[in-house]
Amino acid sequence: MKRFLLMPNEKKDHGLAVTGRVIGTLLSIPASVIYLPAEYEMLTDGERIICCEEGTLPADAEAVITIGGDGTVLEASRPALRLGIPLLGINLGRLGYLSELEADRLEDLVRLADGAYCERTLMTLCVTLRRDGRDWEMPRLAVNDVIFYRSPTGHMIDLTLTDEAGGTLRYRADGLILATPTGSTAYSLSAGGPVLSGSFDCICATPVCPHSFFNRSILFDGDSVLHMRSGEGSEERILVTLDGRENIVLEPDDEIIVHRSSRRLRLLSPEPRDFLGVLRKKMKLTE
**% residues pLDDT > 70 (the chain):** 97
Mean pLDDT of 2-31: 93
Alpha carbon 10 to its chain centroid, in Å, reads: 19
Structure confidence at residue 138 (pLDDT): 93
- 234 — pLDDT class (breaks 50, 70, 90): low
Alpha carbon 184 to its chain centroid, in Å, reads: 11
Structure confidence at residue 54 (pLDDT): 77
The pairing of strands 125-131 and 255-260 is: antiparallel
**% residues pLDDT > 90 (the chain):** 67
Cβ-Cβ contacts under 8 Å for 15 (sequence gap 6 or more) = none
Three-state SS string over 8-38 comes to ECCCCCHHHHHHHHHHHHHHCCCCCEEEEEH
Is it the case that residue 213 has pLDDT exceeding 80?
Answer: no
Cβ neighbours around 53 below 10 Å, total:
7
Q: Tens digits of per-residue pLDDT, 83-142?
A: 999 999 999 977 778 988 999 999 999 888 778 899 999 999 999 999 999 999 999 999
Mean pLDDT score of the chain, rounded to an integer? 90
- Can you list the domains of the chain with their CATH numbers? 3-122+264-283 (3.40.50.10330), 125-260 (2.60.200.30)
Q: Which residues belong to the active site?
A: 70
